[in-house]
Amino acid sequence: MDRVPLVHASLGEQELAAVAEVFSSGWPAGQGPQGKALETELAERYGAAGAVALSNCGAALHLALLALGVQPGDEVIVADYTFPAPAHAVRYVGAVPVFADVRADTGTIDPLAVADLVGPRTVGVIAVDTVGLPADYEDLKLITDRHGLFLVEDAACAVGATYRGREAGALAPVACLSFHGRKGATSGEGGALLTADPALAAKARLQSSFGIQPIFDQAQIVGLPIPVFTEIGYNYKLSDIAAAILRVQLGRIGELLDRRCAVAAQYAELLADEELVTLPHVPPDRTHAWQTYMVKLDAGVDRAGVAADLRAQGIGCGHGTWACHLQPVYEAKQECPVSASLFQSHLAIPMHAELTAGQVERVVDTLRTALRAHSRP
């Protein structure tokens, strides 16, 4: 039986050729010529004053909060229904994540919930483009501007998506991207920080490399330059191997996104009459990157049973994403009922650019059978 994986990276000969060039160059480490070229291309693509290539999106979130001056005891409002990297980053700097509930139709952070949570210790908001769908940035910007708060866009899942004609990653003064293996553009692991503030980018770049200027730059100076450690930093550099892969992937975003959109359209057509699931909702003012395709199961469906049947037939699936306030690590004393409900009812089915029309049909046929087998009358 052929497996239909939940995720699959679209990497091929072009990426291999780019890696071979790095091997020949003699500089596979981070912040070398490929990394510099990638940062230039990212800044141009997103209209950013500065772009910093990093080891992952979690590192980008951490450095963003450091550069924005978040202090221990500060409160940062974060989207609840998401992988918990934003809340983790808030904890990294000793601040307090305050979880905002989400819209029932999109799963993105609810601006009304954000407005209700602003308090005397609030310093900013991290919005998330949930599984590839941009949040309501116009409304969020009104709130943060009114209260003098920063706004960070976690666009980890949304490379290629748009909101009111602007690309995800360019929807807030600071944005963070992910190039993890399941994203629309990938190097296996990787991330980037994008910002309208060149000084913030420079600070993040310094802190991404132990607090010293890039070693590659130092190596170009005649003589014996000795780097000076000006502050405590981290090892968040992206290797030039990964940067070279990403330069190829950035050029393929349109192609790969078109394939994902075709898969999403086929799912929507084949499942349009299925009463036991609710399909993803995409508001007319934005487009989806389709990192993940999640269906919401009817309350009478046993999700675990459906998932077991799909996996028994070689079809990958998952729970979707997390209601962060329910995770034991946070011990949150908050309620986010919409997020909690979505966490219990969503099911992620295979979504990637390598899926064939025949595989999508097989997923849908197997899902329908499983839904009937595991639904209460």
Count Cα atoms within 13 angstroms, Cβ side, for 136.
Answer: 19
Give the predicted TM-score (pTM) of the model: 0.96
> Helix or strand or coil: residue 251?
helix
H-helix or E-strand spanning residue 42? helix 33-46
Return per-residue pLDDT of the chain as tens, 377 residues.
699 999 999 999 999 999 999 999 998 999 899 999 999 999 999 999 999 999 999 999 999 999 999 999 999 999 999 999 999 999 999 999 999 999 999 999 999 999 999 999 999 999 999 999 999 999 999 999 999 999 999 999 999 999 999 999 999 999 999 999 999 999 999 999 999 999 999 999 999 999 998 877 777 777 788 888 988 999 999 999 999 999 999 999 999 999 999 999 999 999 999 999 999 999 999 999 999 999 999 999 999 999 999 999 999 999 999 999 999 999 888 999 999 999 999 999 999 999 999 999 999 999 999 999 999 97
**Residue spans per domain, the chain:** 13-251, 253-373
Q: Is 183 an annotated catalytic residue?
A: yes
Q: On the CB side of 213, how many CA atoms lie within 13 Å of its CA?
A: 10
Stated as kind and residue range, the H or E segment containing 234 is none
Pick among 3.30.70.260, 1.10.15.40, 3.20.20.70, 3.40.640.10: CATH of 13-251: 3.40.640.10
- Which member of 183, 203, 237, 296 is catalytic? 183
CATH numeric code, 253-373: 3.90.1150.10
* H/E run at residue 286: strand 286-287
